[in-house]
């Protein structure tokens, strides 16, 4: 005997009334908008500004390249450079096929020079940390000397000493000043603002379309969209401009919190929808709580790493949690373990939902639409990550912090465009249909009617059905039809 499901009554979604042509146009519009954002990103400026200095050309006499001291002055920066890194690339003469892995002490003194040419020390203490130099047959890994999350001075003066590398034949050290390209910063500001305005408009329109219906009558997708749309407003960071106006790490921390909160809520949305679509009774303790705990652990680990790093760097720019904190490896294992549990759980829910609901046309349509969009979002995200990092995404390397920032404008607009247009598409499709006010208690079980229709006719309708519907509703329109056309 077939398993029976308890289907809840809900507001009829636009998804149910789309014809085949309209259904295809929805996907064409989504892919076109996403493709345009990628093309604009490709044509945009490079993300990174870099200026290099060699240790042997600093003009200092009788200085051992393996020990220093090295005194470096940075180029002039503005707040539009956002952040500043100083990295070092070692060139060591070694035997063919020889690998080197050596711990040494890095000593750094950091001073800032303002527009009035007044030099001020960033700290009265000298920053001393142990670093590991790793060299393979293709060369040595690039090391981060220091990282500043905000640029408070026009230029910086750095004094560097190395202890523990005398035994190696260090031929050259290339110091690289890295920061964000001011042109990219302007592109980022404008597109964040554009997405913020577009998201605000879509959010208002979606809320306006549901104003006639009580929340208890909303479908599970509509309830979750009312959560995701405000969160993607935060993901677009309405306070991003404060980064250039105040000398504080708080805007950076809030940006990390906003992004992690939206992404983890999106993960929670997928779990709840694939599970909740099969049942109408969703108890807090048995349905929501386990999922919130699972995703909450991922959220807490991401937030703790990002905020702790930014807080520590404010007091010690040479701090690096990967090598200065013994808890980093444990946190990394923790994150990947629960990330794996999440993927297995989501896969189980997807397979079970399709197995149990594939014979119900409306349910099958909801599953197919949601899964196609989700798979596209996941595939694009994983493709960019793998193409960018490869296997290094699972490895410890000192330059990984710098690598996690966007490499070009295309990556930035791809991620932001993908997630924003994904939400806009779902907001349109999950909004109430034009006649939803006449079917406020639409029963989401198509087996009660249309027993003799084909699945395509049930889902997309037929020409004869459209004509009959037009003749029946043409003379019985509500006076406030314009309100129901908000999303049309």
State phi, psi for 280 to the nearest 5 degrees: -95, -25
CB-based contact 158:116 (threshold 8 Å): no
Q: Give, as one character, the DSSP assignment of residue 391.
A: G
The string of pLDDT tens digits covering residues 30-46 is 999 999 998 988 888 88
The string of pLDDT tens digits covering residues 351-402 is 988 888 777 767 778 888 889 999 999 888 887 766 655 444 444 433 335 4
- Could you give the CA distance from residue 143 to residue 104 in angstroms, rounded to a whole number? 12
- Could you give the CA distance from residue 220 to residue 305 in angstroms, rounded to a whole number? 33
Q: What is the pLDDT of residue 33?
A: 92
The string of pLDDT tens digits covering residues 291-326 is 999 999 989 888 887 777 777 777 788 877 666 556
Tell me if residue 177 falls in helix, strand or coil.
strand
The string of pLDDT tens digits covering residues 233-277 is 999 989 888 888 887 778 888 888 898 899 999 999 999 998 887
Give the rounded distance of the alpha carbon of 487 from its chain centre. Answer: 27
Residue at token pair 């100083």: 86
pLDDT band at 144 (very low <50, low <70, confident <90, very high): confident
- Could you give the CA distance from residue 427 to residue 421 in angstroms, rounded to a whole number? 10
Compute the average pLDDT of residues 325-338. 77
- Could you give the CA distance from residue 353 to residue 273 in angstroms, rounded to a whole number? 10
Q: What percent of the chain clears pLDDT 70, i.e. is strictly above it? A: 78
Candidates 176, 237, 195, 191; CA nearest to 44 is 191
Compute the average pLDDT of residues 418-445. 75
For 380, how many CA atoms within 13 A lie in the half-sphere containing its CB?
20
CB-based contact 238:30 (threshold 8 Å): no
Candidates 219, 222, 150, 192; CA nearest to 420 is 192
| Other beta carbons within 10 Å of 482 | 9
State phi, psi for 134 to the nearest 5 degrees: -120, 125
The string of pLDDT tens digits covering residues 273-285 is 988 877 767 788 8
Query: Pseudo-torsion of CA 255, 256, 261, 266, nearest 10°?
Result: 100
Contacts of 306 (CB under 8 A, 6+ apart): 253, 256, 260
Contacts of 390 (CB under 8 A, 6+ apart): none
DSSP notation for 400-463? HHHHTS-SBHHHHHHHHHHHHHHHHHHHHHHSBPTTGGG-TTEES-GGGS-TTS-HHHHHH--H
Q: What is the pLDDT of residue 36?
A: 92
CB-based contact 185:80 (threshold 8 Å): yes
Q: What is the pLDDT of residue 391?
A: 42
Bridge partner residues of 109 (DSSP): 159
């Amino acid at each position: 005997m077939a398993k029976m499901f308890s289907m809840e009554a809900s507001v009829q979604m636009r998804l149910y009334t789309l014809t085949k042509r309209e259904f295809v146009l929805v996907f064409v519009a989504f892919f076109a908008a996403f493709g345009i954002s990628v093309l604009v990103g490709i044509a945009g400026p490079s993300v990174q500004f870099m200026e290099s200095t060699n240790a042997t050309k600093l003009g200092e006499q009788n200085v051992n390249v393996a020990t220093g001291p090295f005194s470096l002055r940075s180029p002039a920066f503005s707040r539009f450079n956002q952040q500043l890194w100083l990295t070092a690339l070692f060139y060591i003469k070694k035997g063919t096929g020889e690998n080197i892995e050596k711990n040494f002490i890095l000593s750094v003194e950091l001073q800032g020079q303002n527009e009035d040419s007044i030099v001020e020390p960033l700290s009265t203490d000298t920053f001393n940390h142990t670093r590991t130099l790793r060299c393979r047959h293709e060369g040595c890994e690039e090391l981060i000397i220091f990282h500043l999350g905000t640029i408070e001075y026009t230029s910086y003066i750095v004094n560097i000493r190395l202890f523990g590398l005398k035994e190696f034949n260090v031929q050259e050290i290339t110091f690289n000043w890295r920061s964000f390209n001011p042109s990219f910063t302007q592109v980022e500001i404008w597109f964040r603002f554009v997405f913020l305005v577009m998201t605000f408009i879509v959010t208002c329109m979606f809320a306006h379309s549901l104003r006639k219906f009580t929340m208890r009558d909303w479908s599970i997708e509509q309830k979750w969209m009312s959560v995701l749309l405000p969160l993607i407003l935060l993901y677009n960071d309405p306070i991003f401009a404060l980064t250039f106006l105040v000398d504080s790490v708080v805007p950076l921390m809030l940006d990390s919190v906003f992004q992690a909160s939206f992404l983890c809520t999106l993960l929670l949305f997928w779990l709840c929808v694939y599970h909740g679509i099969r049942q109408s009774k969703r108890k807090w303790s048995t349905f929501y709580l386990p999922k919130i705990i699972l995703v909450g652990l991922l959220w807490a680990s991401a937030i703790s790493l990002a905020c702790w790093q930014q807080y520590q760097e404010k007091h010690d720019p040479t701090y690096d949690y990967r090598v200065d904190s013994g808890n980093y490896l444990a946190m990394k294992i923790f994150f990947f373990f629960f990330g794996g549990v999440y993927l297995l759980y989501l896969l189980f829910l997807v397979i079970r939902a399709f197995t149990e609901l594939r014979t119900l046309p409306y349910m099958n349509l909801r599953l197919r639409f949601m899964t196609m969009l989700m798979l596209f979002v996941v595939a694009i995200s994983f493709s960019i990550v793998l193409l960018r990092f490869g296997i290094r995404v699972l490895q410890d390397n000192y330059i990984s912090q710098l690598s996690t920032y966007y490499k070009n404008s295309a990556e930035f607009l791809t991620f932001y465009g993908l997630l924003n247009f994904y939400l806009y598409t779902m907001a349109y499709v999950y909004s109430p249909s034009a006649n939803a006010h006449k079917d406020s208690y639409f029963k989401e079980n198509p087996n009660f009617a249309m027993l003799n229709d084909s699945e395509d006719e049930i889902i997309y309708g037929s020409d004869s059905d459209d004509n009959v519907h037009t003749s029946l509703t043409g003379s019985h329109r509500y006076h406030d039809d314009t309100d129901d056309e908000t999303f049309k």
